Amino acid sequence: SYNQPENQIYPNIFHSCKNALEENPDFGLLSPIIFGGCGNPDQQNQNLLDGVVLETNKTICFISVLIRREAWDQIGPMDEDFTGYGWDDDDYCHRAKLLGWKTGVFGSLQIFHGSENRTMSSSYHTYFTKEEQKVNSSHNHEMFKKKWGFLPSKLPHFEYPKKDKQELLINKLYGYSFR
C-alpha cells in the first residue's frame, strides 16, 4: 500500500485493510475515505459506513491506496514515465480495470490529506514551483492521451471488457499469459 507522508492515519489500519480485501475479492484497488483535497468525490464520501465498500468508476486518487497483491502481479508497477504529479493514478486504474479488477472506497478507514492549511499534496507544493507544476501536469496529461488515445476525464465512460476478454488483454498489454 502507499500513503503520502503528509497524511494522518487512524489506528488499526492493517486490520481494516486486511478485512476490506478479504471481504471484497473482486476489488484490486481500495482507497480509504479522504478528508482534504481529492479529485474523486467517491473518495470523500464521509457517509460511507464502516465495513462498506463503494465501487467507483472514477480514478482512485493515489493519496493512499491499497493494492491487492494478485492485482499488482497482473497490472505491474506504476509507469515511471509519468513524472512529477498527475495522471499516474489514472493510468494505473485504467490498467487495473482493463484486467477486470474493480476499484473502490472502503468506509473502515479515513485519511486526512494535506497540511500547512493546504488541501492537496503539501510535499508536491514544497518541491515544485507553480511553473514546474504546470509543466509536469501538462507532460503527464499529454503522455496519458498518447498512451491511451483519450483523456483521463473520459475514463468513467470507457466500457471495460468482460471477464472472458481478460486473457486477451493481458497478452496484448504484456505479451504473455498469467496462466
pLDDT tens across 41-99, in order?
A: 888 888 888 778 999 988 898 888 999 999 999 999 999 998 877 889 999 999 999 99
- In this structure, of 57-71, 103-117, 153-167, the range with the lowest mean pLDDT score is 153-167
Residue 177's pLDDT is 44
Taking the C-alpha atoms of residue 148 and residue 141, their distance in angstroms, rounded to an integer, is 11
| pTM of the predicted structure, to 2 decimals | 0.78
Q: Do residues 28 and 8 lie in contact, with contact meaning Cβ atoms separated by under 8 Å?
A: no
Taking the C-alpha atoms of residue 114 and residue 44, their distance in angstroms, rounded to an integer, is 14
Taking the C-alpha atoms of residue 35 and residue 8, their distance in angstroms, rounded to an integer, is 10
Taking the C-alpha atoms of residue 172 and residue 167, their distance in angstroms, rounded to an integer, is 9
Element (H or E) spanning 170, and its range?
helix 166-174
Taking the C-alpha atoms of residue 59 and residue 17, their distance in angstroms, rounded to an integer, is 19
